[in-house]
A = this chain, B = another copy of it.
Amino acid sequence: MRRKTFAGMNCSIARTLDVVGERWSMLIIRDAFQGVTRFDEFQARLGISRNILTDRLEQLVGQGVLERRPYQEHPARYDYVLTDKGRDLWPVMTTLRQWGDQWEAPDGRPVLAEHRSCGHPLGAVLVCEHCGGQLDHSSVTLSPGPGARSGRPPVRVPATAD
């Protein structure tokens, strides 16, 4: 399948989607967070064809999201384990799950998450790491950063500002 790469886009959301935005890749990462490491278990849980799974695992390894560790030599067999880069996707997974729980779970949450240390059902909220204030769309302003390039702008410039 021909797929336009987003890697050249001057936007961290687009570049993230270029690495993990394929939907099966997201579900592989979801399962890796639950401790799944082996090809056959990924396949059984996802109900995915072997060639698609092989392709997605190779991409995630190539991008440094998963690490391949041999656990058997003849024939060669591997565990697929999240790297630091992969584990850093946990906030993405958590916010995706919470949105689905909120808006796409008419029969109730399929999965209950609990905060281990306080024992309460998990509600994860985004706060500012500096002041601790709770964040939403209106509390943040965007401006071009050091990696901004000319051309199609990552930050919208209202017509009145031109």
The interface bits of chain A over 93-124 (1 if a CB of B lies within 8 angstroms of the residue's CB, else 0) are 11111111111110111111111111010111
A54 close to chain B: CB less than 8 A? no
Assess the A156–B35 pair: CB atoms within 8 A. yes
A146 to B110, CA, bound (A): 6
Collect the chain B residues with CB atoms within 8 Å of residue A76's CB: none
Tell me the count of chain A residues lying within 8 A, CB to CB, of chain B: 92
Assess the A112–B152 pair: CB atoms within 8 A. no
Assess the A127–B128 pair: CB atoms within 8 A. no
CB distance from A127 to the nearest CB of B (A): 5
Q: In the assembly, how many copies of this chain are there? A: 2
Assess the A11–B111 pair: CB atoms within 8 A. yes
A32 to B75, CA, bound (A): 50
The B-contacting residues of A in range 105-162, CB under 8 angstroms, are 105, 107-118, 120, 122-131, 133, 135-149, 152-156, 158
Assess the A133–B117 pair: CB atoms within 8 A. yes
Assess the A113–B125 pair: CB atoms within 8 A. no
Which A residues are closer than 8 A to B by beta carbons?
1, 6, 10-19, 21-23, 26-27, 30-31, 33-36, 44-45, 47, 64, 85, 87-105, 107-118, 120, 122-131, 133, 135-149, 152-156, 158
